[in-house]
């Protein structure tokens, strides 16, 4: 009995230590990764949708019509996406990266085609371009932190096939200007809206304005399904190609998968029912997420706006900002670097992103891209284009990105916490500015 009791206590004790460490770990995770935070409001709704799938055990989105007992989470999520964002068609994929790859394949972009994209994005944008044999042409961003339309115009050649704006950090590119350029030069407009779920431009959802657009539902996006993505388009032919491409070229016309025809070569970029189930719960919370983001964003912006040295990102349609981040500029690169260093010194750097020095989001640190470091042989055109990036002048982007800090907006902040965050940032900047003026 004694032994039993001790081992019971021990077990409880060990369990609480374990839970304590899990908790600490989870908190660190939240602090480090609170990018765009659907995962912050995980709950009963997600568990319910997933358990519907676990009940039947049919984890695949296609086939097994009998045993799945009417549970079709992927189809349901695609319908919900069409309804929510006003897109005619939606094709779920295994990730945002595979959504971009799928969209490009379906739009007929391939070997030798040039895709104009911004110098500031996530690496996935150029990964997708390279994966279909095309050439990423990187051009400058402006203070919208997205494609500079004039830089796009300057980069157009005979080989240009597509312009791919990336709606970074919750807000949008100047879509009227980019659409006009694409129309005039007969180019495909493909929106990488992976980071801007729920953002709008002149009344239309980001990702639904070009020939096609993509979202990512990875773990740190506005809504998550762990891993997943979607291609949205209003073009039925493009959609049908996406549908086949993500499933080994299956035409999905019959009831027997094995008897399907393969009108073209495809791939496997399928989403699973488990992932789609999570997405289904999350998309129903999107309005709540956006409302919280907008409220916290507005409060933080009001605080930072008190300091005349801070300016903010330009937003082509301010009402359409999804407000996942508040992006702001300081007057010079030196001041910005000093502020970042001071934020670090005071241990409040988490959630404040200095993209200029970041390994994953800006051309400056993409040595692997500029040196064409791949595991396999690229085609010669791709290799030549990548090596040329080493000498390309990105000083216009540098001048913008080196002064920019993006503060990610959490869904969990109280008003008090936003106030505290804002005031801490202000205090850091004031301290740096005072030092500067003494040194000057
Ligand atoms: C997250 C992201 C992607 C890729 O999404 P994954 O689902 O992580 O593959 C593509 N582009 C941008 C701008 C992103 O932020």
* CATH of segment(s) 6-286: 3.40.640.10
What integer is the mean pLDDT of 176-190?
98
Average pLDDT over residues 295-308: 98
Mutate to test the pocket of ligand 1, among 170, 173, 192 (most ligand atoms within 8 A of CB): 192
pLDDT band at 13 (very low <50, low <70, confident <90, very high): very low
Q: Is the sign of the CA dihedral 243, 163, 136, 158 positive or negative?
A: positive
> Which residue minimizes the CA distance to atom 15 of ligand 1?
195
What is the average pLDDT across 389-413?
97
Over residues 307-317, mean pLDDT? 98
pLDDT at 98: 98
**Residue 272: pLDDT above 60?**
yes
Residue 207 has pLDDT above 50, yes or no: yes
Please, is 424 exposed, middle or buried when counting C-beta atoms within 10 Å of its C-beta (0-12, 13-18, 19+)? middle
Among residues of the chain, what percentage have pLDDT more than 70? 92
Q: Is the pLDDT of residue 371 over 60?
A: yes
Segment 239-264 mean pLDDT: 95
Confidence band for 26, pLDDT divided at 50, 70 and 90: very low
Contact 380, 388 (CB under 8 A): no
What is the predicted pLDDT for the residue at 27? 41
Give the DSSP letter string of 230-271.
EEEES-HHHHHHHHHHTBTT----SS-GGG---SS---B-PP
| pLDDT score recorded for residue 437 | 84
- Any catalytic annotation for residue 430? no
Of 88, 202, 204, 221, which one is the catalytic site residue?
Answer: 221
The full length of the chain comes to: 440
Q: Is the pLDDT of residue 319 over 60?
A: yes
Q: What mean pLDDT, rounded, does the chain reach?
A: 92
pLDDT at 87 over 70: yes
The pTM assigned to this predicted structure is 0.92
Residue-level pLDDT at 35: 61
Best mutation site among 127, 195, 212 for ligand 1, i.e. most ligand atoms within 8 A of its Cβ?
195
C-beta separation of 120 from 360 below 8 A: no
Q: Where are the domains of the chain?
A: 6-286, 287-439
pLDDT at 16: 44
In the predicted structure, residue 334 carries a pLDDT above the cut 90: yes
pLDDT at 2 over 60: no
Q: Which atom of ligand 1 is nearest to the CA of 100?
A: 10
Sheet holding 229-233, edge to edge: 89-93, 229-233, 212-216, 188-192, 160-163, 114-118, 135-139
Residue 368 scores a pLDDT above 60: yes
Domain 287-439 has CATH 3.40.720.10: no
Question: Tell me: the pLDDT tens digits for 130-173?
Answer: 999 999 999 999 999 999 999 999 999 999 999 999 999 999 99
Residue 351 token pair: 């959630």
| pLDDT at residue 24, rounded to an integer | 38
Radius of gyration of the chain (CA): 23
Between these two residues, 437 and 286, which has the higher pLDDT value? 286
pLDDT digits (tens, 9 = 90+) for 351-364: 999 999 999 999 99
From 124, 130, 227, 361, the mutation candidate for ligand 1 (largest count of ligand atoms within 8 A of CB) is 124
Distance 172 CA to ligand 1 centre (A): 15
**104-135 pLDDT, tens per residue?**
999 999 999 999 999 999 999 999 999 999 99
pLDDT for res 36 = 67
The pLDDT confidence band at residue 29, using thresholds 50, 70 and 90, is very low
Pocket of ligand 1 (CB under 6 A): 95-97, 121-122, 124-125, 166, 192, 194-195, 216, 218, 229
Of 81 and 40, the one with more pLDDT: 81
Cα(294)–Cα(322) distance, integer angstroms: 7
- Which atom of ligand 1 is the closest one to the Cα of 221? 1
The answer to whether residue 10 scores a pLDDT higher than 60 is no
Q: What's the average model confidence in pLDDT over 398-415?
A: 97
């Amino acid at each position: 009995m004694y032994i039993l009791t001790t081992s019971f206590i021990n077990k409880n004790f060990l369990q609480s230590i374990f839970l304590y460490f899990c908790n600490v770990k989870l908190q660190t995770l939240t602090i480090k990764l609170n990018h765009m935070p659907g995962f912050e409001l995980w709950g009963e709704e997600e568990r319910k949708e997933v358990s519907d799938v676990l009940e039947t055990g049919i984890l695949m989105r296609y086939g097994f019509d009998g045993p799945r007992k009417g549970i079709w989470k992927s189809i349901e999520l695609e319908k919900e996406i069409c309804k929510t964002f006003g897109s005619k068609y939606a094709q779920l994929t295994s990730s945002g990266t595979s959504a971009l790859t799928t969209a490009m394949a379906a739009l007929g972009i391939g070997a030798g085609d040039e895709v104009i994209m911004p110098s500031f994005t996530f690496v996935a944008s150029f990964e997708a371009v390279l994966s279909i044999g095309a050439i990423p042409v990187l051009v400058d961003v402006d203070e919208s932190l997205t494609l500079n339309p004039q830089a796009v115009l300057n980069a157009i050649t005979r080989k240009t096939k597509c312009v791919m704006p990336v709606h970074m950090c919750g807000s949008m590119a100047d879509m009227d200007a980019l659409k006009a350029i694409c129309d005039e030069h007969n180019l495909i407009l493909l929106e990488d809206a992976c980071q801007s779920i729920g953002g709008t431009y002149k009344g239309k959802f980001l990702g639904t304005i070009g020939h096609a657009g993509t979202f990512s539902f990875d773990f740190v996006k506005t809504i998550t399904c762990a891993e997943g993505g979607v291609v949205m388009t209003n073009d039925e032919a493009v959609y049908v190609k996406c549908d086949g491409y993500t499933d080994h070229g299956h035409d999905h016309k019959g009831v027997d998968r094995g008897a399907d025809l393969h009108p073209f070569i495809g791939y496997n970029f399928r989403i699973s029912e488990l992932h789609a189930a999570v997405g289904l719960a999350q998309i129903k919370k999107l309005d709540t997420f956006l409302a919280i983001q907008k409220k916290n964003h507005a409060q933080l912006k009001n605080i930072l706006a008190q300091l005349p040295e801070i300016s903010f990102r330009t937003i082509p349609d301010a009402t359409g900002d999804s407000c996942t981040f508040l992006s702001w500029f300081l007057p010079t690169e030196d001041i910005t670097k000093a502020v970042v260093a001071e934020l670090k010194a005071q241990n409040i750097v988490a959630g404040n992103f200095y993209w200029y020095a970041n390994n994953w989001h800006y051309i400056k640190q993409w040595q692997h891209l500029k040196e064409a470091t791949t595991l396999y042989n690229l085609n010669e055109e791709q290799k030549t284009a990548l090596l040329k990036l080493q000498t390309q002048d990105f000083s216009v982007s540098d001048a913008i990105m080196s002064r920019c800090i993006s503060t990610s907006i959490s869904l969990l902040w109280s008003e008090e916490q936003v106030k505290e965050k804002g005031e801490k940032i202000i205090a850091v900047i004031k301290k740096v500015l005072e030092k500067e003026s003494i040194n000057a």
